[in-house]
Amino acid sequence: MIDKLVEPCERKAPDYVKKGYVHPVLNRINHWAHAFLIVLLLWSGFQIAFPNAKIFFGVGEAVVTHKVCGVLLLIQMPLWFIYRAVSGRMFWRCLPCPCDFFLCSWRQIKYYLFDIFVGRPHPYDPRELNPMQRITYVSLMLIVLPIAMLSGAVLMWPHAFAWLLARVPIKTVTLVHLIAAFIFLFFIGLHIYLATTGAKPWSYFKAMITGWVDKEELEEYLKHAQTSKEA
Amino acid sequence: MFALLGALVQGQGLHCLACHESVDSLKKYAVEEPEIKGPSEGGGLKGGCGGKPPPLKKWQKLRVSKAFLSGPMGQLGCVKCHGGRDTADFKLAHEGLIPDPSEPGKGREPVCAECHGDIVKHYKKSLHFTVYGQAWTLEVRSGTRGIADSGGCLYSSYRKDCYTCHASCGDCHVSRPKPVKGGLLASHQFLKKPPMKDVCGACHAARTYGEYTGNFGYPADVHWAKGLKECTYCHGADELHGMWNASDRPDSNMHLNRGPKCEDCHAKSSRSNEYHKIHWGKVQCNVCHSMPIRHCFTCHTGYFGDVEDPAKFYRYPEEQKFLFKIGYNAFRDQYHPWRYTQLRHPPNSPHTFDWFKEHYCPERAEVFPHFSALPTWKPGTGHNVQRRTPQTESCWSCHDNPKVWLTEADLKDYEREANAAVINAFRTVFPLPRWSWAKLLGLAWFGFLGLLLLHGIGTWTGRAIARRREK
């Protein structure tokens, strides 16, 4: 039992991932579509929430954009889930194992808080998600985003959810939607920043465009892993 | 002069005019009537729907000018339309007199139909003539069909109460309407366009006319204050004459597809500002652009025995208020597509017509067993439109302000069920966060980005140092 909390679980990645092809086409399309929709939703959403601020092209335009992107996301999310489930990526890549909530994550946190400043390489294989990524990914995609989408759907079609709004004040629904939006806003900042912490600032961006993990990044990790093993 | 001579030669109106043109004769014979009570009395919150037009003495109401006889109508002569006899004998002259020939009588069509048949044909189905809006409400609430046409105890209520406020052709084009006891408008001249104050204002004073001209302590409607647009500017002859298709139901203005719409003039405004872009077509214009309006509660109940005239004593609401309320549009259709509308409370209550129940329908247990079949808060079109109103001050005026929305707290016990589909619309309007939240969020966000920047600087500096050491 204790072993499970301190040792990373084994993940059966397909051969193409082992070769360094970490982001297949569908994965990349999904990622960028998601990014595009979420950014537009946040941008237009904050314009709607704070109509006095001039952050979009106009409040009217923001409302239309927000609704269109919201509906597209409602369509895209089930497709994403089906793809993840059918391809198996949800299970071998994304779901955290017990260690991810304990020691494995601590290694990653320690890396970001201390090791990164002295030039040490990443503690985990760049071909896989690190424990913090797994926890964040699952939390966002399976908890925060569905909550944001559900509350957004209630706000977009309040009359279809009249039964719900008779029990839960719309103020609460709005608050939940806003908190989810804030979480995404902070996540995006963090996500983009951490994407610059590869071997080169563009290493991870390149991987999410070409699908192949950055060679230098991989070599650096393998070298480090070898050294650690020998030690 | 020649026309007058012509009329005299024909003997049409000679004797009639001898009295009706003479101030002395009229003063001698005309009997004064009791004064009309109107909403302008008592600071605007007393009285019924009707107005109190400028007082006229009875002789002024009946005076006919010589000039009238020179017009095409005058040449027809008095007897042709009014009946009676052209004689100097007062009694004989008024025998069989038809005071308003434009009012259809038993087996008699309105005299106007002889020349204006098409208009009269339609007008007889118009709301001004049928007052069918009230009849329809009575029918639905009482569960009795055909109240306006057939007998039955509620027919009496309708004829004796509602229908006395209807208008014949002459009530607009020749004299002031009967509910304010008439009075020739221009010494019997036929006016193509009725004067707004004396005609429209006579019946609609308590609400629309009073609101429009700013009689109730709120500024006059912008269309009146700045443009002096009379009622007929929006409510054209076609609408007032009921020139709609025969298939249209004449039961209520709600179904009047030719009724005026703000978009008729302001169609280009649909994208003129952010508010319009978002709310156009979903929220009635009045929701943002109307000031508080008058609401009447519990009228026509018959408990005002202090007024002598039985035709009047049940027409004073027990309670009136000036309020601004928004709610769901309970009568949503293709002509009125808005989900949210301004609301107005017509003076319905289960006690409406109690007086009639007592006198005409004692066998009925209740007058309105289906009282809750229609809301008592109906879509309203406040006629005190302003460009800037308390609602247009900011998004928060409505989006986080339950006061402007109709809620259970605004309802009386007997109308809760009737308004279930109207109230609590605020539940579906999301409250906007306060501006201070945006400031806080912005601060937190930029602070967070600052931390990431510092982390980034540390990371890349540390890596550079480590690489140099390796070399």
Dump pLDDT digits (tens) for A98-109.
888 888 899 899
Helix (H) or strand (E) holding B293: strand B293-297
Report CA A216 to chain centroid distance, whole Å: 24
Q: Predicted confidence band at B33 (pLDDT cuts at 50, 70, 90)? A: confident
**Cβ within 8 Å, pair A61-B277:** yes
Above pLDDT 90, what percent of chain B? 39
Cβ B368 vs Cβ B376: under 8 Å? no
pLDDT at residue B135, as a whole number: 84
Residue B420: list chain A partners with CB under 8 A. none
Q: Does A165 touch chain B (CB under 8 A)?
A: yes
Residue whose C-alpha is closest to residue B202's, from B176, B222, B236: B176
Q: Predicted confidence band at B184 (pLDDT cuts at 50, 70, 90)? A: very high
Chain B residue with minimum CA distance to A49: B432
Tell me how far apart the alpha carbons of residues B384 and B208 are, in angstroms, rounded to a whole number. Answer: 8
**Cβ within 8 Å, pair A60-B429:** no
**Cβ within 8 Å, pair A59-B274:** yes
Selecting from A53, A165, A169 the residue whose C-beta is nearest the C-beta of B438 gives A53
pLDDT at residue B239, as a whole number: 85
Identify the residue among B422, B427, B470 best suited for mutation to test binding to A, counting A beta carbons within 10 A and taking the highest: B427
Identify the residue among A63, A117, A175 best suited for mutation to test binding to B, counting B beta carbons within 10 A and taking the highest: A117
C-alpha angle B120/B125/B129, rounded to 5°?
Answer: 80
**Minimal C-alpha gap between B432 and chain A (Å):** 6
Mean pLDDT of B24-52: 64
| ipTM attached to this prediction | 0.88
Residue A63: list chain B partners with CB under 8 A. 277-278
Q: Does B436 touch chain A (CB under 8 A)?
A: no
In DSSP notation, B307-338 reads SS-TTTTT---SEEEEE--EEE-TT-BTTB--
pLDDT at residue B48, as a whole number: 64
**Cβ within 8 Å, pair B430-A155:** yes
Q: Which amino acid is at A192?
A: I
Q: Does B245 touch chain A (CB under 8 A)?
A: no
- Measured in degrees and rounded to the nearest 5, phi and psi for residue A166 equal -75, -20
In DSSP notation, B221-282 reads PHHHHTT---HHHHS-HHHHTT-S-TTS-TT-GGG-TTS--THHHHGGGGGSSHHHHHHTTT
Selecting from A117, A178, A186 the residue whose C-beta is nearest the C-beta of B459 gives A117
The answer, yes or no, to whether residue B52 has pLDDT greater than 80, is no
Query: B257 or B327, which is more confident?
Result: B327
Identify the residue among B270, B278, B439, B457 best suited for mutation to test binding to A, counting A beta carbons within 10 A and taking the highest: B278
A154-179: pLDDT as tens digits: 999 999 998 999 899 999 999 999 99
Tell me how far apart the alpha carbons of residues B433 and A175 are, in angstroms, rounded to a whole number. Answer: 8
Residue A171: list chain B partners with CB under 8 A. 430-431
